[in-house]
Structure 1
Amino acid sequence: MIIPIYLSSLLMNQSGHDVVKKQISASMASRVHFYLSSLETELARLRRLQMEYVSDDDLLSLGTAVSRMNDFERSRTILSVKSKLYLLKSSSPFVENVKLYVPALGRSIMANNFDDTIPEAELAAMLEPGNMSATVFGFQGRLLLSGVYPDAIYVNRQPVLAIEIELSKAEIVRTLSSMANGEAGGAVWMSADGTWNVTSGLRPPVLSELSGAIGTKPADDRASAPGQFTMKTDAGSFFVAHEYSPVLDSTLAVLVPAEKVMQPLNRHRDWIWLLSLIALVLVVAFSYWIHRLIHKPIKRLVVSFRKVEKGDLGVRVYHRNQDEFHYLYNQFNHMLGRIETLIGEVYEQQIRSQRSELKQLQSQINPHFFYNSFFILQGLVQMREHELADKMFRHLGSYFQFITRNGAETVTLEQEMKHASSYVEIQKFRFSGTIEVEQEELPAEWAQAEVPRLIVQPLIENAYLHGLENKTSDGRLRIGFREEPDGRLRIGIEDNGEELDDLQLERLRKSVSAADRAIETTGLLNIHRRLQLKFGPDCGLSLSRSALGGLKAELTIRKDKEDTA
């Protein structure tokens, strides 16, 4: 919110700066135009008076009939002419002196003094055709206006009268100074050809650069319009306003130091930057204060919640200030304490329930197996097959020892597979010659993996009971192992029983997938539930059609899963 407002303020300040700069340039251009117009008017008036004077009766009599005058008439006429010249000189503050050259008289008459000669060089310059056609021309540092009578001077004839008006450079300098009054600048009036100039307040290097920047006489009248530009010199930057006068064939220019003119605006800009710096410091301080007061406590609370999401209930947060966050932190700590207490109670109750359920599930062993085993053993004894009976006794002893040992809820996979092998050996006595058993070697790295007791043997028992019991020949039972890349092991028990149809297989699959919602857990369901309780939901029991044609029961366990029983 602050940045757009601040940028808008800067744009407004810059816009005001540009407007003021344009107004200053326009004011300077208007001032130049006014003074140049005044100068043109005044010099045009002097030019007209000059031409009127050369047509005056007294001046013409003095120039043409001086030889017929006596001394008195000549003296009176000279005094009258001198008086008229003085009136012309007094008519304008821009006139320094007026001189009249009378060839017939052989002398000159001046308004300011009684000198009667004009230097030859000055007289030659005054009679120069180019200077007579020019409004103003320069001579030895002075500005002159000249006029002759008659105009036939352009042919080789001596003029009857020649009048010269010398302009007052002091008055012109004063006028130029007033143009830049109070601005610590300067002004210059200079000819288009660079032969003369009158300056006020300008040093020669600046004047030289200005002359080069303005140039000579414009190529067309359109260039006589006022112009403004900024000129950079070694002495600094200047705002320049200039205008060319076709009437005077000269240019009037005024220069104002940019630093002097823009000083109030620069001071205003400095204040803006100072206020901006103060505002920035305040914003940073306020932001830091808000960060410490609100954002940092909230972030600490969010981080604590994320730790709780990952299961870390030992997190505690504290706040020194007695504000709303102090209350939130205390309630957060109190909530975690209550959650830990409730989790402890629920976890302990769940463990007890799991242990009770596991012990109940482990005791659900098919009693028909015992009866059949004892009948087989009785038959071997009656047939005096003592070696086979001894082998049967050893397998039965190992079998009963494993299922009656209640001290440990988990065993190594190697022990579980030895128990399953004992069960298979016992069943070989019952199904002698009718069922072929293929059992792969247990991978060595999985031998010491902890698994729940009685997870493989019940599946083998289920294969004999429901898949192979009615086989009179060519029965097949396969026990295999397959390691997964994600660190799991699949133990497959499959048969070639013919009594399992697709409807029964689908019903078994659904019962296994709903094992966690079943009220009574027996058979395959108890194995699946125990595996999931220990290894997690991605492990357990899966059922499918075997490549042999019967049922394939596949156990999935994880070696790196900690025992939760």
Structure 2
Amino acid sequence: MRSYLSPKWYLDLPIQRKLLLWFAPLLLATIAITGVYSYRIASNEIVSKMSVEQVSSARQAIDHLDYIAQDALDISDYLYLTPEIQVMLKSDSASGSYINNDSILMINRLMVTRPYFQFLTIYSPRFEPIQFNNKGLSSAIPFEEYRDKFDYDGFLTRKKIDEWSIEVPNHSKSIFYGDTKNKLLLTKILKNDLTLKPEGVLILGIDEKDIRRSYSTPNDKTTIIVMNSDGHILSDTNGFWVGKSIGELPYFTKPIDQPNLINPAIEKPDWVFSHSQSSLTGWHVLVLQPREDLLSQLNRIKWITALILCLTFLLSLIVSWSAAAVITKPMKTILSSMKKFQKGDFSQQVSIQGKDEIGQLGTGYNIMVRRITQLIDDVYTFEIKQRQAELKVLQSQINPHFLYNTLNTIAWTAQKNGEHTVAEMIYSLSGIFQISLSQGRDYIELKEEMKLAEHYLFLQKMRYREKLSYEMELHPELAGFKIPKLLIQPLIENAIVHGLEPLTDDSGFIQVTVVPSEDHPGMIQIEITDNGVGMPESKLRAIQEQAFVDLPYPTNQNESFALLNIMNRIRLFYGTEALMDMDSVENFGTRVRLLLPHSKR
């Protein structure tokens, strides 16, 4: 079963449809690739730009958080070194020490000038808890409850004197009664400045919403998460993740418990993110935005590309169809003329303007028609002349049987009278005549050709007597091989006339061998060698150029005529597979070799 896109299906299509089949998809593919490439470039640019903005946002958030954290640390250090606080830290728990009004006013000024500080509490077993609350919505738990709930004694033994934590009401231990807000707490150990012994803690609370406002961004799709080095979330853009661990966040390919594992674990195909860490607090800031939201603004490129594809497809149909018509119209004219020419109208000519390929095709077609017409006329004239010549030959031919019988009668009479040599010569002449006519056949077997050559050599032997001797060899397997008749005899005649006749004292020798070629497998080698006068190298080269190069006729009737005649005959029958070469050395002799393909009989 033939497939829809088989080569034959394509070959059977008209040129107009072929052009449409190539032009439209190529144009559509170009536009589609351009659109996809543009979309990718734009998306990469947007993601890259957003990454830079996120790095900037993370840096700004860290700067704001560092400012608040540094301010909190500065206030705690300032209060720690305040003489009134040191006096209270050094007092006896039974003395009932309390903070004086000047210190209260001073702390109130500090708290009022920093609205993001919600409360300040100082716990110590040497005095009652000191509380300051900017919003006045809650009160701190008693010292003893704080001591049990938050491991006060264990905290004093730590090497680190300050710690940041997050308090989420109803989800973690709380220092304040009646407070429902998330608070970021700085807990700092207060020491006796003389003995450096821990005597209490200072707790400074910041409303998590105030922290959130310090790094909020106008883009509601951007999420910023602040977490400490232990992976606990201190603040986030929506306040949803406050107090939870980093492992609960949905942005990672696998659960993690340390902020240092954020970069390799985050879902990069879904999120564009930036991750930075504060050198002051060690807090980590993670800024995220969904990649899909960033790229949603590029949907317009998709729709524009799809619209352009549709319009281009329609336009390509019109343009390709019109362009194909320009090409196919003159071709249809030529095709119509060719059909009429095939039916025998040899007067056909087409009129196509221009010198482009179509114009050249039309001009070539007209020239071809004229030449074919001329060739047909020439062939017709030649056939008439050939038939007339054949008729004349037939009319002038003597009946071969009459000639054979006459020669045989003469030979019989000579033999009867004792003229045996004359009889043999007449028999040889009769054999030459019989084989050369061969009942009108153009090709004869090698054994017949060799028999004809033997008759000819015998007659020449009778003429030259002791001056000529010969030797003939025919491989038995080649006896039935057919060749054009009179192929060997002219070469022998050439050797006698031009090679042996000029000899004065020496006796001439001709060797004729027909064997399979050893140098050219699959070829038959016919070789005629003589020990005649040979020829100079210049004369040999002239004969080779005249006989073996593509010259139609030799310039004069010399030894190259027979060679050219034989060369043309074997080329007509065997084609370019047949070869002929000639070697000659002056005063030593000449060798002519024919190589005929064994496959053609």
Instruction: Give, in whole Å, the separation in 2 of the partners of 1:382 and 1:149.
Output: 162
In structure 2, runs of 5+ residues without a counterpart are 1-29, 168-172, 176-184, 249-254, 332-352, 394-406
- Specify the SS of the correspondent of 1:440: strand
1:243 aligns with 2:277: yes
- Specify the SS of the correspondent of 2:526: strand
Q: Percent identity?
A: 14
**CA drift at 1:136:** 5.1
CA distance 1:555–1:335, change in 2 (3 Å): same
Instruction: Give, in whole Å, the separation in 1 of the partners of 2:77 and 2:563.
Output: 128
1:533 aligns with 2:562: no
1:30 aligns with 2:26: no
- Specify the SS of the correspondent of 1:514: helix
- Specify the SS of the correspondent of 2:258: helix
Q: Is the 8 A contact 1:231 1:240 kept in 2?
A: no
Q: 1:424 aligns with which of 436, 457, 473?
A: 457
The 5-angstrom pairing of residues 181-196 of structure 1 reads 182-190=220-228
- Specify the SS of the correspondent of 1:385: coil
The match for 1:122 is: 146
The match for 2:241 is: 202
Instruction: Give, in whole Å, the separation in 1 of the partners of 2:445 and 2:269.
Output: 98
Instruction: Give, in whole Å, the separation in 2 of the partners of 1:488 and 1:21.
Output: 83
CA distance 1:273–1:387, change in 2 (3 Å): farther
The match for 1:514 is: 546
Instruction: Give, in whole Å, the separation in 2 of the partners of 1:458 and 1:448.
Output: 19
**CA drift at 1:239:** 2.5
Q: Is the 8 A contact 2:499 2:534 kept in 1?
A: no
- Specify the SS of the correspondent of 1:40: helix
Q: Which of the two has higher C-alpha Rg? A: 1
The match for 1:222 is: none
**CA drift at 1:555:** 4.8
The match for 1:43 is: 72
CA distance 1:526–1:185, change in 2 (3 Å): same
The match for 1:451 is: 484
Q: Is the 8 A contact 2:76 2:202 kept in 1?
A: no
The match for 2:4 is: none
Aligned partner letter, 1:535:
I
- Specify the SS of the correspondent of 1:257: strand
TM-score scaled by length of structure 2: 0.57
The 5-angstrom pairing of residues 129-278 of structure 1 reads 129=156, 134-135=161-162, 140-142=173-175, 143=185, 151=193, 154=196, 164-172=202-210, 174-175=212-213, 178=216, 182-190=220-228, 197=234, 200-202=239-241, 204-206=244-246, 212-214=258-260, 229=263, 231-232=265-266, 237=271, 239-244=273-278, 246=280, 250-259=281-290, 263-265=293-295, 268=298, 271=301, 275=305
Aligned partner letter, 2:246:
V
- Specify the SS of the correspondent of 1:535: helix
CA distance 1:50–1:130, change in 2 (3 Å): farther
Instruction: Give, in whole Å, the separation in 2 of the partners of 1:560 and 1:102.
Output: 123
Aligned partner letter, 2:114:
S
The 5-angstrom pairing of residues 346-365 of structure 1 reads none
Instruction: Give, in whole Å, the separation in 1 of the partners of 2:323 and 2:304.
Output: 28
Instruction: Give, in whole Å, the separation in 1 of the partners of 2:531 and 2:191.
Output: 148
Q: Is the 8 A contact 2:223 2:289 kept in 1?
A: no
Instruction: Give, in whole Å, the separation in 1 of the partners of 2:126 and 2:596.
Output: 143
The one of the two structures with greater contact order (alpha-carbon pairs below 8 A, sep at least 6) is: 2
State the Cα deviation string for residues 385-430 of structure 1 (Å, max 9, x = none): 1444443433333344556789566655443333222223334444
- Specify the SS of the correspondent of 2:496: helix
Q: Is the 8 A contact 2:246 2:259 kept in 1?
A: no
Q: Is the 8 A contact 2:222 2:288 kept in 1?
A: yes
Aligned partner letter, 1:47:
S
Instruction: Give, in whole Å, the separation in 2 of the partners of 1:282 and 1:346.
Output: 57
Instruction: Give, in whole Å, the separation in 2 of the partners of 1:22 and 1:202.
Output: 23
Instruction: Give, in whole Å, the separation in 1 of the partners of 2:452 and 2:566.
Output: 18
The match for 2:512 is: 479
Instruction: Give, in whole Å, the separation in 2 of the partners of 1:436 and 1:84.
Output: 150
Q: Is the 8 A contact 2:227 2:235 kept in 1?
A: yes
Instruction: Give, in whole Å, the separation in 2 of the partners of 1:38 and 1:96.
Output: 16
> How many residue pairs are counted as aligned between the two chains?
484
The 5-angstrom pairing of residues 295-306 of structure 1 reads none
Aligned partner letter, 1:259:
P
Q: Is the 8 A contact 1:238 1:255 kept in 2?
A: no
Q: What RMSD in Å do the two structures reach over aligned CA positions?
A: 6.2
Instruction: Give, in whole Å, the separation in 1 of the partners of 2:591 and 2:42.
Output: 85
Q: Is the 8 A contact 1:97 1:166 kept in 2?
A: yes
Instruction: Give, in whole Å, the separation in 1 of the partners of 2:40 and 2:268.
Output: 31
The 5-angstrom pairing of residues 313-328 of structure 1 reads 327=359
Aligned partner letter, 1:167:
G
The match for 2:528 is: 493
Instruction: Give, in whole Å, the separation in 2 of the partners of 1:555 and 1:348.
Output: 35
**CA drift at 1:39:** 0.6
The match for 1:467 is: 500
Q: 2:115 aligns with which of 83, 93, 99?
A: 93
Q: Is the 8 A contact 1:231 1:239 kept in 2?
A: no
Q: Is the 8 A contact 1:496 1:549 kept in 2?
A: yes
Q: Is the 8 A contact 1:479 1:492 kept in 2?
A: yes
Instruction: Give, in whole Å, the separation in 1 of the partners of 2:232 and 2:515.
Output: 111
- Specify the SS of the correspondent of 1:182: coil
Q: 1:391 aligns with which of 401, 420, 424?
A: 424
Aligned partner letter, 2:457:
V
Which stretch has the larger CA shift, 102-111 or 44-53?
A: 102-111
CA distance 1:329–1:205, change in 2 (3 Å): farther
Q: Is the 8 A contact 1:494 1:550 kept in 2?
A: yes
**CA drift at 1:535:** 1.7
- Specify the SS of the correspondent of 2:84: coil
**CA drift at 1:467:** 1.7
Aligned partner letter, 2:226:
V
- Specify the SS of the correspondent of 1:55: helix
TM-score scaled by length of structure 1: 0.60
State the Cα deviation string for residues 248-293 of structure 1 (Å, max 9, x = none): xx33333232425x732575499479959988x989x989x99x98
Aligned partner letter, 2:258:
G
CA distance 1:25–1:230, change in 2 (3 Å): farther
**CA drift at 1:206:** 2.8
CA distance 1:131–1:461, change in 2 (3 Å): closer
**CA drift at 1:463:** 1.6
